[in-house]
Amino acid sequence: MSLSRRQLLAILGGGAGAIAATSAGALGAWASVALQGTPDGPARLGKVLRSKNGELRVQLTVKPGTAMVDGSAVSGLSTYNSEFPAPTLVVRPGDHMRIRLVNNGSTTTNLHFHGMHVSPKGHQDNVFIEVDPGEAHEYDVKIPQDHPGGLFWYHPHHHSESGPQVWSGLSGLIIVEGGAALLPQIQGLRRHTIALREGGLSPDGSWADYEELSTDDTQLYVNGMLNPRVSIRPGETQFWQIGNIGVATYYALSLEDHEFTVVEEDGTMVWRSWQTETLIMPPGKRYGVLVTARRGQGTVYLRQLGYNQGKAVWPARPLMRMRITGEQDRPVSVPTHLAEPPSWLTGPVAKRRVLTLSQNLVNGSPQFYIDGMIFDELTFKDVIQVRLGTTEEWVIRNASSTMAGAPANEEHPFHIHVNDFVVVERGDWNPLTNEISNRRPAPLRSYSDTATIPWNTYMRFRTNFSDFVGRSVYHCHLLYHEDHGMMGVFDIVDAKGQGAGPGQHLPSHH
């Protein structure tokens, strides 16, 4: 499909400035998005499942088959409960999430509650659980009373199947009530919850296979819709929570002529708010932002500006329209200082570690390593043991270009389960000479659970292993990389050395 800019403008009825695509490639992609999308649909969140009386009691059934995508029935998906995207779970601190996961799919699956500070053992956020086809599992995840409020998400985490399963439709948002949303300035604002995820159709109209589509042909859905709209009054401030719950797409998000005020990152209210024109969002990343409509009447676009991740180049796209309409409203602002950083951040560090991310081709197939190891071959001596209640400092460095047999520069979004981290420094690192340069202290303003590491750079973070013992994982959140090895295991142990529980086997034990 190829359209001239003039034809495109005619179809869209867009005026000058409605399209700021800078290349023919981006314009071509925009054309297919615009023509497939339902025109003018509101950016509705879809199915919401809410906790009651302290518990969220739901069944999530992995269902291969047809689901509604952007107003059309599409076959070849695999969804939870035939919903695309998956239902949004709304819970409160102190709740139990009692989720019956029924696997009617053809591959082994399980559930991970991304970013949540809950136990990694038993029937909770235990990624070593295996729910085979035809089986079911009862999860019972206890959310602590002091759990942060914000945006989280859930998806399957069975090694080697995570990418294909999430691609096929299995990912959804979790809103934990509280946090920045309860600030007096924000409480009364209109809210939008925005799930970003990629996908697309095969020529026959069914959902494309995993890894089938080029980045140019991949569609970027907002709450399962292409190019939906939100409305805002001139001068009005809204609270948007945005999550990237896809498998591979990096977003550089921008809202034409507007800026974002960040008040929440990775499910937690920030300590210091900040303004930015662009939100960089690798897979797994979430931000909560304030948006104030600056113009009078008119439409502006939330855009993917495009992103070069190294291997994948994501083209520029419009994602969502913001229609500024109605009576003038009064903007709301929040103070810069919102909360105190945790005291452990400047306290003693019990242990420092360095982890190196790399990749290579082995007999023609890509493998991804942490410290030269792939996940499938980990033995007990490779498991990092950390002590409950202590603070550690980790340096994660990305050597993907030089430790590989062939040049392969790629960014990797690092993610760790159970406890958030605080990035304290970034810098350049030359894997050949081991030389560090361009050290940049990070602004200490928020927690993260997912952060990208460009090639030939490092990220230094501090983390405190609080409240929970047990075995869990850290990994690259490009799910293809995780499925092909870039995942490590750590045990949080108490003073007696107790940590991992029954059913938390290493992969090499199978």
In the complex, which residues of this chain contact Cu ion (CB under 5 A)?
Answer: 412, 476, 478, 481
Beta strand pairing status for 412-416 and 450-453? antiparallel
- Structure tokens, 225: 């819709």
Tell me the C-alpha to C-alpha distance, in Å, between residue 160 and each of 95, 166, 366, 368, 470. 31, 12, 13, 12, 22
Distance (Å, whole) CA 414 – CA 267: 16
CB closer to Cu ion out of 155 and 229: 155
CB closer to Cu ion out of 84 and 414: 414
CB closer to Cu ion out of 81 and 400: 400
Burial tier of 328 (Cβ tally within 10 Å: 0-12, 13-18, 19+): exposed
Q: What is the DSSP letter of 304?
A: E
Distance (Å, whole) CA 291 – CA 230: 12
Beta strand pairing status for 317-324 and 229-232? parallel
Q: What is the DSSP string of 14-39?
A: --TTS----SHHHHHHHHHHHHHSPT
**CB distance 221 to 313 below 8 Å:** no
CB of 311 to Cu ion, least distance (A): 9
CB of 476 to Cu ion, least distance (A): 3
CB closer to Cu ion out of 41 and 454: 454
Q: What is the DSSP string of 365-428?
A: EEEEEETTB-GGG--GGGSEEEETT-EEEEEEEE-TTTSSSS-----EEEEESSS-EEEEEEEE
CB of 129 to Cu ion, least distance (A): 24
CB closer to Cu ion out of 170 and 476: 476
CB of 400 to Cu ion, least distance (A): 8
CB closer to Cu ion out of 63 and 412: 412
CB of 478 to Cu ion, least distance (A): 4
CB closer to Cu ion out of 417 and 481: 481
CB of 366 to Cu ion, least distance (A): 10
Distance (Å, whole) CA 65 – CA 161: 18
CB closer to Cu ion out of 193 and 359: 359
CB of 486 to Cu ion, least distance (A): 5
CB of 121 to Cu ion, least distance (A): 27
CB of 349 to Cu ion, least distance (A): 26
Residue whose structure tokens are 């779970």: 89
Question: Within 13 Å, how many C-alpha atoms sit on residue 484's CB side?
Answer: 16
CB closer to Cu ion out of 180 and 399: 399
Query: Sheet holding 457-464: strands in order across?
Result: 365-370, 351-362, 391-398, 457-464, 421-430, 435-441
**Of 179, 110, 108, whose CA–CA distance to 143 is shortest?**
179
